């Protein structure tokens, strides 16, 4: 069988590059995944109840399953693993397969982020080359660039949190931009009342308590709140900057120049996108790789690079990225460096 031959050759590359076989569980606690990794997985999962009434699901994602196994086995280790197995996902599209055969690799707990990102993409690209899939193309993004841009903008903290939280929901995100653009969530009368109350409280004894909170604490929060820029004109500029950023689409070897032009045009700090070492490393794989800031917004746990590789028919045959926050959301006491990718055997 061709798929068996593909698997054997891909695994040879994985082993040659130092990855060791790991076999994550097929059955997972569905409530555990939803509580720790967000509601996005709920719509994907195939669930049932066991004899005790516990909600169980077939693993919807081998990366999540691998991370759970890693935390059970040795969360302090630096692990380079590969897996071969199936992920089970529900879909509203009748053309999508419920069972997805995957071969993937993960680097967990390493501190060499830039070189690890390159290693993952290089190993996956070498595997695809090994099985003689030709005329492939690569698309890359780095979701951390969006986070850095948001932090650099002079907008209310609540808006920064909203935009970062809902970056993964493009349709709702666009709705948020329209609200920010028109100031539709701000009541001018409430703002003036805030300012008046702030002035009054400054004359109170700072150590006094109101509703079990010190006046000084309340003033500190008020101070941040009323200093938030609420100018209609400024908000329109902010939204334009964000929309322009999400339109960036260029060959990866032109990204540095493109971002510098974007920063200059919008009068941003030169240091906003100061570290592009990972992306520059990825350009070593294929200088024709396309970088798109609006790409990779469908899986919420990514925190850095995200990439997909396509065949000549533009069908996705592999995808991956960095997800440094996932292990903490699954139970680790702190963020653990993690990056990985999987080849979809069904699309080869």
Annotate 170-200 with DSSP letters as a single string.
HHHHHHHHHHHHHTTT--HHHHHHHHHHHHH
Conformation bin of residue 188: beta by default, left when phi > 0, alpha when psi is -120 to 50: alpha
36-43 mean pLDDT: 68
Residues 222 and 189 occupy one common structural domain: yes
Considering the domain boundaries, does residue 142 fall inside one? Answer: no
Tell me, yes or no, whether 93 lies in a domain: yes
Domain span at 98: 1-135+337-348
Q: Tell me, what's the pLDDT at 190?
A: 56
Are residues 26 and 93 located together in one domain of the fold? yes
- 152 Cβ partners below 8 Å, 6+ apart? 268, 269, 272
Q: How far is CA 283 from the centre of its chain?
A: 20
| Mean pLDDT across 211-222 | 75
Tell me the C-alpha distance between 209 and 226, whole Å: 21
Q: What are the tens digits of pLDDT across the range 75-84?
A: 777 899 999 9
Tell me what pLDDT residue 259 has: 94
* 280-320 pLDDT, tens digit each: 888 888 768 999 999 988 888 899 999 999 998 899 999 99
State whether 117 and 12 are in the same domain.
Answer: yes
Q: Of 112-121, 132-141, 221-230, where does mean pLDDT reach its minimum?
A: 221-230
CA angle, 43 as apex, 46 and 39 as ends, to 5°? Answer: 115
The better pLDDT of the pair 51, 18 is held by 18
Are 184 and 239 in a shared domain?
Answer: yes
- Kindly report which listed range (11-15, 43-47, 99-103, 182-186) carries the lowest average pLDDT score: 182-186
- 322 within a domain of the structure (yes/no): no
pLDDT band at 188 (very low <50, low <70, confident <90, very high): low
SS3 state at 106: strand
pLDDT mean across residues, the chain: 87
| For the ranges 1-10, 219-228, 251-260, the one whose mean pLDDT is highest | 251-260
Write the CA distances from 185 to 150, 156, 238, integer angstroms. Answer: 19, 12, 16
pLDDT value at residue 348: 86
Whether 285 is in a domain gets the answer: no
Q: Considering all CA atoms of the chain, what is the largest pairwise distance in Å, rounded to the nearest integer?
A: 81
In a domain, 203, yes or no: yes
Give residue 202's pLDDT.
79
Residues 70 and 113 in one domain: yes
* Rounded distance between C-alpha atoms, residue 129 and residue 13, angstroms: 10
In the prediction, which pLDDT does 116 show? 95
Beta strands in the chain (DSSP E): 20-21, 27-29, 46-49, 55-58, 79-88, 99-108, 137-142, 209-210, 213-214, 249-251, 290-292, 305-310, 316-322, 338-344
Q: What mean pLDDT comes out for the span 127-140? A: 92
**So what's the pLDDT on residue 243?**
96
Instruction: Kindly state whether residue 233 falls inside one of the protein's structural domains.
Output: yes
Number of H helices, E strands in the chain: 13, 14
Whether residue 291 lies inside any domain: the answer is no
pLDDT of residue 81: 96
Same domain, 114 and 163: no
Residue 163 has what pLDDT?
A: 94
Looking at the structure, do residues 127 and 160 belong to the same domain, yes or no? Answer: no
Query: How far is the C-alpha of 8 from the C-alpha of 343, rounded, in Å?
Result: 13
Cβ neighbors of 276 (< 8 A, separation 6 or more) are 255, 256, 259
Q: Are residues 8 and 79 in the same domain?
A: yes
- Between helix 113-130 and helix 2-16 the angle, nearest 10°, is 150
Q: What is the pLDDT of residue 229?
A: 47
Identify the pLDDT of residue 310. Answer: 94
Domain finish residue from 212, 245, 278: 245
Same domain, 68 and 104: yes
Give the Cβ contact number of residue 69 at 10 Å.
Answer: 17
Give the N- to C-terminal CA distance of the chain in Å, as an integer: 13
CATH number of the CATH domain containing 30: 3.30.930.10
DSSP labels for 23-83? ---SEEEHHHHHHHH-GGGTTT-EEEE-TTS-EEEE-S-HHHHHHHHHHHH-TTS-EEEEE
Q: What is the model's pLDDT at position 34? A: 78
Least confident range from 31-40, 78-87, 112-121, 174-183: namely 31-40
Mean pLDDT calculated for residue range 46-69: 90
Contact 56, 47 (CB under 8 A): yes
User: In this prediction, what percent of the chain has a pLDDT beyond 70?
Assistant: 90
pLDDT at residue 262 tops 60: yes
| Domain closes at, from 245, 268, 303 | 245
If one counts the domains in the chain, the total is 2
- Residues 109, 22, single domain; the answer is yes
CA distance 225 to 103: 49
Same domain, 117 and 175: no
Same domain, 5 and 123: yes
Q: Residue 39: is its pLDDT beyond 80?
A: no
Provide the pLDDT confidence category of residue 69 given band limits of 50, 70 and 90.
very high
- Contact yes or no for 99/85 (Cβ under 8 A): no
Residue 122 within a domain: yes
Domain limit, last residue, from 245, 266, 281 = 245
Phi, psi of 26 (to 5 degrees): -85, -40
């Amino acid at each position: 069988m061709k798929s068996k031959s593909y698997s054997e050759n891909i695994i040879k590359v994985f082993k040659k590059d130092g990855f060791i076989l790991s076999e994550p569980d097929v059955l997972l606690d569905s409530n555990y995944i939803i509580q720790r990794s967000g509601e996005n997985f709920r719509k994907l999962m195939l669930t049932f109840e066991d004899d005790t009434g516990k909600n169980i699901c077939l693993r919807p994602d081998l990366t999540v399953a691998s991370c759970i196994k890693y935390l059970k086995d040795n969360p302090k280790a630096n692990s380079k693993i590969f897996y071969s197995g199936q992920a089970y996902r529900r879909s509203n599209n009748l053309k999508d397969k419920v069972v997805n055969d995957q071969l993937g690799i993960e680097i967990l707990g390493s501190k060499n982020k830039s070189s690890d990102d390159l290693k993952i993409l290089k190993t996956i690209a070498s595997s695809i080359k090994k099985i003689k899939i030709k005329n492939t193309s690569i698309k890359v993004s780095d979701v951390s660039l969006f986070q850095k841009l948001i932090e650099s903008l002079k907008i209310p903290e609540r808006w920064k949190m909203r935009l970062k939280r809902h970056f993964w929901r493009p349709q709702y995100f666009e709705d948020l931009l329209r609200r920010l653009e028109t100031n539709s969530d701000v009541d001018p009368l409430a703002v003036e009342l805030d300012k008046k109350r702030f002035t009054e409280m400054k004359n109170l004894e700072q150590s006094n308590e109101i509703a079990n909170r010190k006046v000084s604490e309340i003033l500190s929060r008020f101070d941040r709140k009323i200093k938030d820029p609420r100018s209609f004109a400024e908000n329109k500029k902010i939204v334009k900057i964000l929309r322009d950023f999400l339109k960036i689409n260029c060959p990866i070897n032109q990204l540095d120049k493109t971002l510098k032009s974007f920063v200059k045009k919008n009068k941003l700090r030169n240091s906003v996108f100061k570290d592009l070492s990972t992306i520059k490393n990825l350009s070593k794989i294929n200088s024709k790789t396309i970088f798109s800031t609006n790409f990779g917004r469908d899986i919420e746990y990514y925190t850095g690079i995200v990439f997909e590789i396509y065949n000549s028919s533009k069908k996705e045959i592999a995808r991956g990225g960095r997800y440094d926050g996932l292990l903490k959301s699954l139970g680790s006491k702190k963020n653990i460096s993690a990056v990985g990718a999987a080849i979809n055997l069904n699309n080869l």
